[in-house]
Structure 1
Amino acid sequence: MSTALETVLYTAKTHTVGGRTGTGKSSDGELDVKFSSPGSGKPGTNPEQLFALGYSACFIGAIQVAAGKLKVKLPEDTSVDAEVDLGKTSSGDFQLAVRLNVNIPGLEESVKRELAETAHQLCPYSRMTRDGVKVELKVV
């Protein structure tokens, strides 16, 4: 089920040439990357790394929103380590799987878990992957 946007807050614009062995850049020039296939040993990043960075940054933002809603002071060194797997399903289709390792130091385990689960409901990346990509959420 998709939900139509009522208000657009920001539009990211990029241009990519050559796919997994090409280049990509953002319209504002802040991002300019060379791509290489995972495991090729060639210089460059890959879409899975970029997705992992984007998801983890967005997820921390969602944790910050959750902390505000729950009136919890979030430690500045809160972090998320994202792992994005690229694999094949039994039918041979390419698919992603995600693990988010959430580190919120100095808080009780129950508070950490509540923040992570609330963030998982709020994060646009989490909603985008729901029902299509397996996302394992682990509080460390």
Structure 2
Amino acid sequence: MSVIPLRRILYTAEAITEGGRSGHGRTTDGRLEVELAVPEDMGGKGGPGTNPEQLFAIAYGACFQSTMLAIAQGRKLDAGDARFTSRVDIGPTAHGGFGLRVALDVHAPHLAPAEAARLMAEADQRCPYSNATRGNIQIMLTVDGTPIEKVVKNDQGAA
């Protein structure tokens, strides 16, 4: 897979970290500042700080949901009250080192499940986080816990 260059840069986020996973991070514009802590599950002390996986879960979920909302709005669909749950797993790989896995689930009470699944599939093609991770990590997309492929298949079988 080849890298697709940006035609232009719309925005640049810049952050400074010190101390790695047990350190401190802040954006250079001062809008975000966090203490970092390694979770006990990963052999750390835990503590009040956040971790990169939590930050990635929020960032990916927010970006994906914004993409899906824009698509829904363009189709005049009501997805405004949709709620996303995003999970980021980290663990060792068979090749040594560590890898990630992401799960994105939507609850969209004003959309039919099949419509929500189709919106998620299209958002997955447009979202910059999905495009950045495609082919690198496993992404699971679900509507109320059901994989989007199964939701669409069940909808087609019911027709």
* TM-score, normalised by the number of residues in structure 1: 0.94
Q: How does 1:46-125 map to 2 (within 5 A)?
A: 46-74=51-79, 76-125=80-129
How many angstroms apart in 2 are the aligned matches of 1:14 and 1:35? 14
* TM-score, normalised by the number of residues in structure 2: 0.83
How many angstroms apart in 1 are the aligned matches of 2:81 and 2:73? 16
Unaligned 5+ runs, structure 1: none
How many angstroms apart in 1 are the aligned matches of 2:97 and 2:76? 43
Q: What's the offset of the Cα at 1:65?
A: 1.7
Q: What's the offset of the Cα at 1:32?
A: 0.4
Count, aligned residues? 139
Identity of aligned residues (%): 41
Give the structure, 1 or 2, with the largest relative contact order (CA under 8 Å, sep 6 or more).
Answer: 1
How many angstroms apart in 1 are the aligned matches of 2:94 and 2:38? 22
How many angstroms apart in 1 are the aligned matches of 2:16 and 2:60? 20
Q: What's the offset of the Cα at 1:22?
A: 0.5
Q: What's the offset of the Cα at 1:38?
A: 2.0
Give the direction of change, closer, same or farther, for the CA distance of 1:77–1:68 in structure 2 (3 Å limit).
closer
| Bigger-Rg structure (1/2) | 2
What secondary structure sits across from 1:50 in the alignment?
helix
**Structure in which a larger fraction of residues adopt helix:** 2
